[in-house]
């Protein structure tokens, strides 16, 4: 599995857990689930996009 698929699975499970734990009515559960799920996915993509310009490897040592 890729990192993105694991992030989607994690966001799904966390959103489901908190929506069932914190809300009683079905409509409120769905709304909270979508807020948490989309917030985590879009937040993760935004952070990844902001980190993209930075190098992923340590700088080369001086000769």
Output the pTM of the full model.
0.81
| Residue 61 confidence (pLDDT) | 82
Q: How many Å apart are CA 50 and CA 58, to the nearest integer?
A: 18
Q: How many Å apart are CA 40 and CA 8, to the nearest integer?
A: 8
Asked if residues 41 and 13 have their Cβ atoms less than 8 Å apart, the reply is no
35-55: pLDDT as tens digits: 999 999 999 999 999 998 887
Sorted by where each begins, the domain ranges of the chain are: 3-46
């Amino acid at each position: 599995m890729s990192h993105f698929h694991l992030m989607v699975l994690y966001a799904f499970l966390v959103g489901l857990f908190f929506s069932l734990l914190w809300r009683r009515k079905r409509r409120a559960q769905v709304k909270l689930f979508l807020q948490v799920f989309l917030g985590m996915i879009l937040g993760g993509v935004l952070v990844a996009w902001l980190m993209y310009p930075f190098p992923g490897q340590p700088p080369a040592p001086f000769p």
